[in-house]
Amino acid sequence: MAIAVEQFFLDPNYRGTLQRQLQEIVTGGVLAGRFRLGERMPSSRGLARHLGISRITVTLAYTDLVANDYLSARGRSGYFVSESAPRPPSFPTPVRTESNVDWSRAIGQRFPPSTVLQRPEDWRRYRYPFIYGQTDARLFDHQNWRKCALQALGVRDFAALTEDSYGRDDPQLIDQIIRHILPRRGIVADPSEVLVTMGAQNALWMLAQVLLTQRRTAVMEFPCYPALREILHQSRCNTLDVTVDALGLPPEDVPPEADVVFVTPSHQCPTSATMPVSRRRALLEQAEKHDFLIVEDDYEFELAFTSSPSPALKSLDRGGRVAYLGSFAKSLFPGLRLGYVVAPEPLIRELRTLRSLIVRHVPGHIQRSTAYFLAQGHYDAQVHKMARAYRERRAVTEVSIQAEGLTLAGASNFGGSSFWMRAPGGVQAAQLAERLRHRQVLIEPAGAFFGKGRDPETHYRLAYSSIPAVDIPEGIRRIAEEGQALARCRA
Amino acid sequence: MAIAVEQFFLDPNYRGTLQRQLQEIVTGGVLAGRFRLGERMPSSRGLARHLGISRITVTLAYTDLVANDYLSARGRSGYFVSESAPRPPSFPTPVRTESNVDWSRAIGQRFPPSTVLQRPEDWRRYRYPFIYGQTDARLFDHQNWRKCALQALGVRDFAALTEDSYGRDDPQLIDQIIRHILPRRGIVADPSEVLVTMGAQNALWMLAQVLLTQRRTAVMEFPCYPALREILHQSRCNTLDVTVDALGLPPEDVPPEADVVFVTPSHQCPTSATMPVSRRRALLEQAEKHDFLIVEDDYEFELAFTSSPSPALKSLDRGGRVAYLGSFAKSLFPGLRLGYVVAPEPLIRELRTLRSLIVRHVPGHIQRSTAYFLAQGHYDAQVHKMARAYRERRAVTEVSIQAEGLTLAGASNFGGSSFWMRAPGGVQAAQLAERLRHRQVLIEPAGAFFGKGRDPETHYRLAYSSIPAVDIPEGIRRIAEEGQALARCRA
């Protein structure tokens, strides 16, 4: 029996080549049982005419389908669905089930839902997206990333990267982190002191599991990274907030009962304050004196472009009390989910055991692609390029902020990718953001950094990592305009 | 100043092209501060002569370094280290730290170390590796996987895949799982009922966190997958073992106090028993009667080649009591760390919240590459090819087992990738494995499936997923020989 050309339709919305679409129609037809084993395919000439495409496209599609054993070629008789093609499943049409379980009772443990910052899913459609932490495709060295990923997909690497490697990390990535990244933070580490994680969030979560119990006390900065607050809350330890000032966390305010202190010294999240070296030393002394540990989240360290970066707190740590967290979310992209922890070996060992239990390891291909990107110098070129672009954007934003009279809520001599702002005259940041959305401007109200019931409701984050410099002045102008309009309504 | 050609050495062990090696020497030199900004590179002719390579290789390397801003070209004067090249870090040499923390006290929670099955890291060097669950590179469709991964690395997909997508999964992968995979297990699901996980281990772990508490009771099969026992132990719930027989878990033995029952109906792990449909129905009836939930781990379902596969337990589940687990570890490769859970929406919602907390989401590129591999029919072709090869290997193994008089400990009409075996005459499987190692044969003693203190010490797993059919008879012969030798010593 021959398959009729009428079974072939092109989808105008298909994203891909004609050849690929044709192949998918055939494989889909075979797998759905519509095209049966041994049936003859339409001639390439006939199908090409029917679809109004070139005959060579049909021939190429058929050839590929033969290579993949969906079709077989029988000389002049044409192409047939291969006898050894995958067979369609043969179950009766199943019935949808409705759960009659009382899930409110069946779920034994509930986890705090993430307080995601207010950001529409279609943020890329906005003209003035002052949103934080996403990749600017214009700045990313996509071409070299692709090369490195392709290299890591090569036959040579295949065996190593496809194995279940249990607790082990990719030695090439560990080597690059140790030789290439940590030295610029002043950190020396041995491979046994480094663990690859699924991003910084995963690292924070694992550290909380291993270091905290219901009888222990964690100290966090106020305000702080919302995901950290959720992680600590879920771990059920005692938590204490220490309010940061213009120089970050004041070490003398850390209570002696602290067991673990979570800090962001390079660039406080969200105020952008940089902790001076004297405070870092004081914090380490406190840690020795009161026997607490420190978790240093060094997010965005690559983007210290406004001044020479301070060495990491970890590099000053003589007592081995600091667990250092790095991430590739800002220098590469957040969807990679790749970070690392540097800490004394006994702690890394426990974290590794926990990681094995929950995810085993980070996918091999991701580790190796990143290792190549580092080894071949693309990472440095990339960070350099980003820093240059961000420096320009930051300068433009600063000028516009001054010109339009917006209010900075925190100063920073670090760089990074955002400003910490306050809305004018008691205006609610959420309300301001809502109005700006209708004018193509996105800003991030900062309630989540303060936590429930403690939000002054006036702060927002103004990030320039996803907006070109040329659009910044107009965006800032609109923020000023709407802010003033709202302030007038209140007055 | 000019950089001397003497600074260039080729590494004979370098894995990569000459051009890439040259580029790495330059980027490394710049980043280490050995090559300073503005310094002149050796001429391409001079460097080519010094290294004994072609001049075009040097020129290509230089051109690429210009594109990446490490070098700049100044017409006839040659190449110079670019003024805008990444700068080397300028910290004083840091000192290694020794931790003075009492880690035995500082670590608040210890997690059970994984009982990894005995398998040397260099298992690929052995001639007769009867080891389980790793990919046979000879069977994997590496070329099409690479194509799909490359497609997912394209500019079109870049924006979607590099974003931090918080709780969301790749809609294309979810669509493929729902339309392409689940129907062949008889399962109908809505996107809100599917969650992508970091492999089956991650799914089991998350289910244990959400469904179990210290007051709840989990039932597991005896023997069972060691990682499940560890996960349940860590969750601190009560656990009960139910001994499996030749038809898998006997439903009537599940105690009424069970809250969650973990089963492997298609293909019991490790005995390979397939649960008949009548037992599946009985188990579901029990679940309704005693109000317990079922976690169905449908590992290796793609490899049911010896008979028509039974529909999943989940497909018979009218009460919505089953959480179904699938994984791409066996059909693609374990290093991918990709799996999924299908369950009623309220449970998926909780699992998603937990996943957001611990890892956010599975890396976008991995999800999209797999979606393409499925959409383009390669997955089916791949499973088909594996099943064909495994069927042959299984037949060869079966004949050899009979011919050499080895003892099967469990029969299976499913297929899969291993046999469940017993050593002869009370011989310890670990001892047998140890002796076989010296003869290039790897088998897996099965103690971990039974758990501490309950191991009969005589069982082992004999997998044929990583050994070509041609090597099987000799491997089996050696197992028989060493087994008989050990049995004689005991007698």
- Using a CB–CB cutoff of 8 Å, tell me whether B81 touches chain A: no
Q: Is B256 on the interface with A (CB under 8 A)?
A: no
**Residue in A with minimal Cα distance to B231:** A357
Q: What is the pLDDT of residue A308?
A: 63
Any A CB within 8 A of B236 CB: no
The whole-angstrom distance between B491's CA and the closest CA on chain A is 39
**What are the residue ranges in chain B where pLDDT is below 70?**
1, 88-97, 114-118, 307-309
Q: Which residues of A touch B144 (CB under 8 A)?
A: 68
Closest CA to B287 of B311, B248, B251: B251
Indicate the residue type of B335: G
- To the nearest whole percent, how much of chain A has pLDDT over 70? 96
**Which of B86, B336, B365 comes nearest A383 by C-beta?**
B86
Instruction: Look at residue B323 and give its three-state secondary structure.
Output: strand
| ipTM attached to this prediction | 0.83
Whether B271 and B409 have beta carbons less than 8 Å apart is answered as yes
Across the interface, whether the CB atoms of B153 and A145 are under 8 A apart is answered yes
Domain boundaries, chain A: 5-81, 123-133+381-490, 142-376
The torsion region of residue A150 among left (phi > 0), alpha (psi -120 to 50) and beta comes to alpha
pLDDT, greater one: B159 or A339: A339
Checking if the pLDDT of A117 tops 90, the result is no
Dump strand ranges (E) for A39-86.
71-73, 79-81
Looking at residues A258-284, what average pLDDT do you find?
A: 94
Determine phi and psi for A300, rounding to 5 degrees. Answer: 60, 20
Closest-CA residue of chain B to A362: B337
Confidence (pLDDT) at A58: 92
Q: Please give the class, per CATH, of domain B123-133+381-490.
A: alpha beta
Provide Rg for chain A, Cα atoms: 28
Is the Cβ pair B159, A385 closer than 8 Å?
Answer: no
- Best A131, A144, A162 residue to mutate vs chain B (most B CBs within 10 Å): A162
Enumerate residues 426 to 485 of chain A having a beta carbon within 8 A of any beta carbon in chain B: none
| pLDDT of A196 higher than 60 | yes
pLDDT value of residue A422? 96
- The 8-class DSSP code of residue A452 comes to T
Tokens (6 digits) for A244: 């940061």
Query: Average of pLDDT values for A363-384?
Result: 91
Go through chain B and tell me how many residues it has: 491
Give the distance from residue A404's alpha carbon to the nearest chain B alpha carbon, in angstroms.
31
Q: Which residues of A touch B107 (CB under 8 A)?
A: 210-211, 346-347, 350
Give me the residue label for tokens 């295949």: A158
The CA-based angle A468-A471-A477, given to 5 degrees, is 140
For chain B positions 293-322, those within 8 Å of chain A (CB to CB) are 293, 308, 311, 315, 317-321
Torsion on CA atoms B163, B168, B172, B175, rounded to nearest 10: 180
Across the range A285-307, mean pLDDT stands at 90
Q: How far apart are CA B126 and CA A156, in angstroms?
A: 19
- Residues 6+ positions from A49 with CB-CB distance below 8 Å: none
B24 chain-A contacts, CB cut-off 8 A: 375-377
Nearest Cβ partner for B101 among A140, A163, A321 = A321
> What's the pLDDT at B93?
52
- A319 with B99: Cβ contact below 8 A: yes
**Encoded tokens for B467:** 């050994």
In whole angstroms, give the CA distance from residue A206 to residue B243.
34
User: pLDDT grade, residue A298 (50/70/90)?
Assistant: very high
At residue B128, the pLDDT reads 97
Cβ neighbour number for residue A275 with a 10 Å cutoff: 23
Average pLDDT of the residues of chain A = 89
**Structure confidence at residue A87 (pLDDT):** 76
Tell me the shortest Cα–Cα distance from A79 to chain B, in angstroms.
18
Nearest Cα to Cα of residue B307 among B199, B187, B391, B393: B391
Largest Cα–Cα distance in chain A? 87
Q: How many CB atoms lie within 10 A of CB B171?
A: 12
Burial of A204 per CB tally in 10 Å (0-12, 13-18, 19+): buried
State mean pLDDT over A251-256. Answer: 96
Picking from A339, A350, A253, the residue whose alpha carbon sits closest to that of residue A296 is A339
User: How many other C-beta atoms lie within 10 A of the C-beta of residue B59?
Assistant: 16
Q: Let me know: does B261 contact B287? Beta carbons within 8 Å.
A: yes
Selected from 1.20.1740.10, 3.40.50.10860, 3.90.260.10, 1.10.10.10, the CATH number assigned to the domain covering A5-81 reads 1.10.10.10
- Res A30: pLDDT: 83
Residue listed under structure tokens 């919302």: A226
pLDDT digit string (tens) for A388-417? 999 999 999 999 999 999 999 987 778 889
Average pLDDT score over residue span A204-218: 95
Query: Are residues A320 and B97, on separate chains, in Cβ contact within 8 Å?
Result: yes
pLDDT greater than 80 at residue A69 = yes
CATH class name, domain A142-376: alpha beta
With contacts defined as CB-CB under 8 Å, which chain A residues touch B162?
134-135, 137, 140, 333-336
> Where does the pLDDT of residue A229 fall: very low under 50, low under 70, confident under 90, or very high at 90 and above?
very high
For the beta carbon of residue A26, count every other beta carbon within 10 angstroms.
Answer: 25
Shortest distance, CA A339 to any CA of chain B (angstroms): 11
Stretch among A271-285, A369-383, A440-454, B26-40 having the lowest mean pLDDT:
B26-40
A309 — pLDDT class (breaks 50, 70, 90): low
Q: A292: distance to nearest CA of chain B, Å?
A: 9
pLDDT of residue B340: 98
**Cβ(B173)–Cβ(A325) under 8 Å?**
no
Closest CA relative to residue A469, chosen from A48, A121, A130, A28:
A130
| Residue A118, pLDDT score | 61
Instruction: List phi, psi (to 5°) of B261.
Output: -115, 125
Amino acid identity of A203? A
Q: Does A214 touch chain B (CB under 8 A)?
A: no
Residue A134 is predicted with a pLDDT of 83
Asked if the C-beta of B489 comes within 8 angstroms of chain A's C-beta atoms, the answer is no
End-to-end CA distance of chain B: 81
Q: Which of B99, B166, B320 sits opposite A116 (nearest CB)?
A: B166
Q: Which of A94, A365, A366 sits opposite B315 (nearest CB)?
A: A94
Q: In the prediction, which pLDDT does A36 show?
A: 82
Instruction: Provide the shortest C-alpha distance from residue A9 to chain B (in Å).
Output: 16
CA distance A465 to A163: 37
Question: Closest Cα of chain A to B73: distance in Å?
Answer: 17
Q: Between chains, do B94 and A315 touch, taking CB under 8 Å as contact?
A: yes
The position carrying tokens 């069927």 is B391
Cα A346 → chain centroid? 28
Tokens 């649960």 sit at which residue? B275
How many CB pairs below 8 Å do chains A and B form together? 366
Please give the average per-residue pLDDT across A136-145, as a whole number: 89
pLDDT tops 60 at residue A110: yes
Q: Give the minimum alpha-carbon distance from B481 to chain A in angstroms, rounded to a whole number.
A: 31
Q: What angle do CA A165, A342, B102 make, to 5 degrees?
A: 105
User: Are A357 and B89 in contact (CB < 8 Å)?
Assistant: no
**Mutate which of A14, A68, A195, A213 to disrupt the B interface (most B C-beta within 10 Å)?**
A68
- Quick check: A13 contacting B, CB < 8 Å? no
Chain A residues within 8 A of B23 when measuring between CB atoms: 376-377
User: What's the pLDDT at B35?
Assistant: 82
Q: Are B111 and A198 in contact (CB < 8 Å)?
A: no
Residues of A in contact with B321 (CB under 8 A): 99, 101
**Cβ <8 Å between A364 and B145:** no
- Yes or no: say if A366 and B363 are a contact pair by the CB < 8 Å rule: yes
